[in-house]
Chain A
């Protein structure tokens, strides 16, 4: 499963893994802006950016084919819009949509595959994103798969009780059954949140979450971010000029 693979990849110890999350986020942002604002010689720029990302993947010790394939998750959506653009007489935009959306997704994937999510969230917090929101996201991710599994069990149980009726009346009752299942899942999730709260209190929670520690932004991180960003910007300028 996607997230399982991502978590495994993110636990590496390569030179890229060991960089501060903020350096990687900054570089990611530069990459995305360089790509998003590009209009001329897009194909050449895309090749250069693909090379950049592929180098990062290899340096991180990740499987290149696997990473490139996973970024393709965005393609079906883009392909629809690209097709419409092409048929509406704007082939340039069709190509742009496909290239930009794929490379952007690839860049995000590389950043997330080389940074464990808790560290990424910590990095975001230290750059000023609202802590409340980030902590909600952290707990969301923690229990995402727990609750998804519960939901899967419920749908399997319902299916095994003959939820394949084809009539309209069957649809109505299955609709209500699905709503009932969701309500039960809601109540269970709420109950789980109360369990979590009790567990927090039992170990002395006094009103605020304290975390294990700040990240360490070193010279090597600054160098990494600066060099990578410079490389990206120069590439873009060079390709634009060459056109």
Chain B
């Protein structure tokens, strides 16, 4: 079976010329959950934006066997469900239901069916009661769940979440982890949250200066790059 995501030698520069990605190779197989670790600015978010064609670089990016090209974008954006870091900008419609139905309506589904499917997705994430509410009034955790519902309606094969636990308190993080564990899709998690990555992911890759410097089990990557942060008073230098 072909990998869900296959990236070969991906390079990308920003408009002002700064190199962001310097030759990234990456593979995602069905059922996997991979954590993308690395410092801020190391290219993790830039990388995931290539997976659904929001950014285009040089090299090859293939999703479910399809190259990420203009003619394939519509299909690929169904297969890759991207949950952005800032839910406020992702839930841009006036009500929760309208937002969750957004993707379905774009596909040409009629209003009634889109509404029903959206309600089902909200049910999956436990937010059915909020259908008529304005997104602004929801808590960070609730917004994240609605965003996930909006992505689930597209029936993606891959879920990509960019820093999903930012803004979430520990109970919120736990609820999110619970929800994600029950979803069958392969997952890519861009995250700084080591316990979360540890709980959710089978393996990790470490981004450094626009390339993947290492890959392996989460534990191993974390210790190798000193990415753990144990709060021991004696060890902290004065």
Chain B residues contacting A204 (CB-CB under 8 Å) are 74, 77-78, 103, 106-107, 154
Interchain CA distance A121-B134 in the complex, whole Å: 14
Do A195 and B84 touch across chains, with their CB atoms under 8 A apart? yes
Q: Which residue of B lies closest to A200 (CB)?
A: B92
Chain A residues with Cβ under 8 A from B49's Cβ?
A: 198
What is the CA–CA distance of A67 and B150 in the complex, to the nearest angstrom?
Answer: 36
CB A99 to nearest CB in B, in angstroms, measures: 34
Q: How many A-B residue pairs have CB under 8 A?
A: 84
Query: A213 to B150, alpha carbons, bound, how many Å?
Result: 18
Q: Which residues of B contact A145 (CB under 8 A)?
A: 136
Interface size for A (C-beta < 8 A) is 30
> Is there contact, CB below 8 Å, between A212 and B90?
no
A194 to chain B, nearest CB (A): 9
Cβ contacts A to B, 8 pairs, < 8 Å: A117-B94, A118-B94, A142-B136, A192-B88, A203-B150, A203-B154, A211-B111, A212-B111
Binding site for B on A (CB under 8 A): 4, 7, 11, 116-118, 121, 138-139, 141-142, 145-146, 192, 195-196, 198-206, 210-214
A202 in contact with B92 (CB, 8 Å): no
B132 contacts the other chain (Cβ, under 8 Å)? yes
Instruction: Provide the bound-state CA to CA distance between A214 and B112, in Å.
Output: 10
Q: Assess whether B165 is interfacial by the CB under 8 Å rule.
A: no
Find out whether the CB atom of A199 lies under 8 angstroms from the CB atom of B94. Answer: no
With a cutoff of 8 Å between Cβ atoms, the chain B residues found around residue A139 in the complex are 92
Q: Is the CB of B114 within 8 A of A199?
A: no
B89 and A7 contact, CB distance less than 8 A: no
Q: Is the CB of A196 within 8 A of B102?
A: no
Contact B86 A195 (CB under 8 A): yes
Contact between chains at B89 and A211 (CB < 8 Å): no
> When the two chains form their complex, are residues A212 and B106 in contact, meaning their CB atoms are under 8 A apart?
no
The answer to whether A146 touches B97, judged by C-beta atoms less than 8 angstroms apart, is: no
**CB of B101 within 8 Å of the partner chain:** yes
For residue B176, CB closer than 8 A to chain A, the reply is: no
Which of B54, B115, B154 is close to A212, meaning CB atoms less than 8 Å apart? B115
Residue in B closest to A149 when the chains form the complex, CB atoms? B136
